[in-house]
Amino acid sequence: MNKDIPQFWRDERLPFVEARAIEDGRRIHYAMHSHEFFSIGAITAGHSHYLNGDQQLQVKTGDMVIINPQQAHGCNPISNQCWSYIMFYIDPQWLAKLQQENSEDKSPGFRPFADIVSHDATLFNGLNQLYRILTTPSCCHLEKQIALVDYFSNLLQQLGVTSPSLFDHSPKLATAARFIRHHCTEPLTLEAICQASALSPSYLIRSFKKHYGMTPHAYLVNQRIQYGHRLLKHGLPIAAAAHKSGFADQAHFQRTFKQLLAATPGQYQTPSTTK
């Protein structure tokens, strides 16, 4: 098996978590993108460029990257040097329930984390151990459930959340983003987005890029890929997922999917699953 091909893991009994690993990331290149889920990853070898919003860092072996939902980000190799990582994608609603259970603050909804990187060796080793448990066929379902709750409960104790919320900004801008998300499979015009949010084109474009890390068009494309990602997860053929996601053809969908997620739709559809 090629070391530069990403390996995906998921389990239909644990629908709130997915994992990904790559042994040699020299050919792994991400365009700036965002996810609807919370992401956390461990750099297991080498080092790489890490972009999160307007922050640019270098991360190395032993570091962990922390990415809130809908936060624009990307990780890429440095001068063709080898690096490897594991990555977890967690349903923010599942994590929100843990936040409420582990905090005196019982407010509903996911509360974004303040940190974008951690150097904590215990959290790093724990994430690697969690990955081994999830991907080991001999580990039973109960063991995996306990390992997930135990690790992320501990993570919540170690990392601080933002206050106020990361996404506290103009309600009209939030309306524009919501409109794009809800209509991402349809042909959209700038006029339609502005009308839905009661914003002028210049203000929308300038402020949207500042808060979301991408233009409204890039955000729309990203939402279409997230939509297609969900369809692929549920077993829809690639061609059908491309059409339903609003892409003109399968080739465009495949190119964009790889640009944003650094994997082909076919690679994502053939994970190491647990039944």
CATH number of the structural domain spanning residue 257 = 1.10.10.60
End residue of a domain, out of 158, 182, 202:
158
Do 37 and 144 belong together in one domain? yes
The confidence score (pLDDT) of residue 17 equals 97
CATH number of the structural domain spanning residue 148 = 2.60.120.280
Q: Is residue 188 part of a domain?
A: yes
The confidence score (pLDDT) of residue 31 equals 87
Q: Is residue 166 part of a domain?
A: no
Residue 122's pLDDT band (cuts 50, 70, 90): very high
Whether residue 2 has pLDDT greater than 80: no
Total domain count, the chain: 2
Average of per-residue pLDDT across 250-263 = 94
What global pTM score does this model have? 0.86
Residue whose tokens read 């990780």: 75
- Determine what percent of the chain falls in helix, strand and coil, rounding each to the nearest 5: 45, 20, 35
The 10s digit of each residue's pLDDT in 160-192 is 776 444 444 688 999 999 999 999 999 999 999
- Who has greater pLDDT, 88 or 101? 88
Whether residue 196 has pLDDT greater than 90: yes
| Average per-residue pLDDT for the chain | 90
Q: Is residue 108 part of a domain?
A: yes
Query: Domain of 183?
Result: 171-274
Task: Give the end-to-end CA distance of the chain in Å, rounded to a whole number.
Answer: 22
Question: DSSP letter string over 150-167?
Answer: HHHHHHHHHSPBPSS-TT
Whether residue 273 has pLDDT greater than 50: yes
